[in-house]
Amino acid sequence: MASELTRQAVPTAPDEVPVLAPGQTFKSVTDTISGIVLTLKTPLFWFANFGIGFLLLQLFLLGVTMLLFKGTGVWGINQPVGWGFAIINFVWWIGIGHAGTLISAILFLFRQQWRMSINRAAEAMTLFAVICALQFPLFHTGRPWLAAYWLLPYPNTMGMWPQFRSPLIWDVFAVSTYGTISAVFWFTGLIPDLATMRDKAQGRLAKTIYGVLAMGWRGSAAHWRRYETAYMLLAGLSTPLVLSVHTVVSFDFAVSLIPGWHATLFPPYFVAGAIYSGFAMVLTLLIPIRAVYNLKGLITERHLDAMAKVMLATGWIVFYGYMMEAFVAWYSASYYEGFVIWNRMTGPYWWALWALVFCNGVMPQTLWFKKVRTSPVPLFIVSIIVNVGMWLERYVIVVTSLHRDYLPSSWGMYAGTVWDWAIYLGTIGLFLTLFYLFLRVLPMISIFEMRELVHKKSPGKHVEMME
């Protein structure tokens, strides 16, 4: 049964690249997507990427073990750079998680058909990115079993409560809400497909697991009506999170009085940067998966083109933010604000600033050309460069605003230690491990939404949907 919400979508114009390749049927769509999970032959590509992720995960465990035994002294933080990789990587991971919520909620409300092939993987990416981000505020305390739980407000005999005027506490509420709603939204969308997997699975164990997760779904009219109501409500709840979460994260910097951080510009350009890096990560993950699993009929050039256009638009907003930072520092006539910007451009960390300008400002201009937007290899390269650039952006914001303060005698340099890099690269391993496990056990593309697309293209011709 097709959803009335998506049935109302405007059909693709004849001269546009379709969101679904010709010749697809209900059966071919179902078999292609479910076959990735139910096949007994896992491709070497999966083992290679899962293996890399798992090895990096061991690096994370080693780095965390060293941190817990010796404390945060193993990190490169010092005076005056009291914040380092922990906040840089936290903000970077939260930003990466933004694309999933945008694709799932906002594009759903705007009836964008091209979201249907990528929303499931983007939602999973969001959850795993939030998990990776939460590692840093958890472990930056050094002894999380002694300090981390004080971040949450709960009645206790000691009468201790979090400092609610601190933006770090705002992060706790914003990110936990974001993660919770995203998880519920993701699982709700999975329910019809879990029922399909239950019916197609051969092994008894697989049937039982998918059956339990499907929560008794039978595809009745009542089930679909409740599903549509719940999905619409969750989409409405998720939409404000796209704007609120990274806005709150930007307050970590913007509400301070430190030159280079104290800027009202931060909330909008942090949100744009989050969407920018999120779409870059979606492309980084899906382009090779699309090729290896032969999903070009479901993830077409139209999807690549649309995601590249979103990257181009948000990339320009981010680049405009960089220029306005410099302009406001000059126009304000504040010596200290001007010094921070000039120090970024010509000081010891000049290489980081100009590298991020190249990665986030210059390289994405190639996306003006349709051939680049629809060519997997160049687009994959651009997406990786953007991810690197967005990490450098956070590095520049944190380090160059702190390493030279008001007293030259207090100036210092900052560099991550081997344990900083171990934990950072380890969270990438955690992310890859979780993502490729998801790819192996759950349908990465929404089966029932792709069936709806088939129905829109040629209604009434695919009776095998009932099989």
pLDDT (tens digit, 9 = 90+) per residue, 294-344? 999 999 999 999 999 999 999 999 999 999 999 999 999 999 999 999 999
Domain contains 422: yes
What's the structural domain count of the chain?
A: 1
Rounded CA separation 413/402 (Å): 9
Domain holding 281, by residue range, is: 4-142+163-461
pLDDT (tens digit, 9 = 90+) per residue, 177-200?
Answer: 999 999 999 999 999 999 999 999
Q: Hey, is 294 helix, strand or coil? A: coil
Domain contains 111: yes
**Both structure tokens of 251:** 């307050």
Domain contains 149: no
Instruction: Name the nearest CA neighbour of 273 among 385, 352, 158, 389.
Output: 389
Would you tell me how many other CB atoms lie within 10 Å of the CB of residue 219?
13
Domain contains 96: yes
Res 144: pLDDT: 83
Contact 21, 302 (CB under 8 A): no
Please name the residue that has the structure tokens 């995203």.
182
Domain contains 157: no
Domain contains 150: no
Confidence of residue 2 (pLDDT cuts 50, 70, 90): very low
Domain contains 320: yes
Instruction: Name the nearest CA neighbour of 139 among 228, 227, 238, 64.
Output: 64
Domain contains 364: yes
Among the residues of 358-446, which ranges form H helices? 370-373, 376-399, 418-441
Contact 198, 216 (CB under 8 A): no
pTM score, two decimals? 0.91
Rounded CA separation 74/148 (Å): 19
Confidence of residue 50 (pLDDT cuts 50, 70, 90): very high
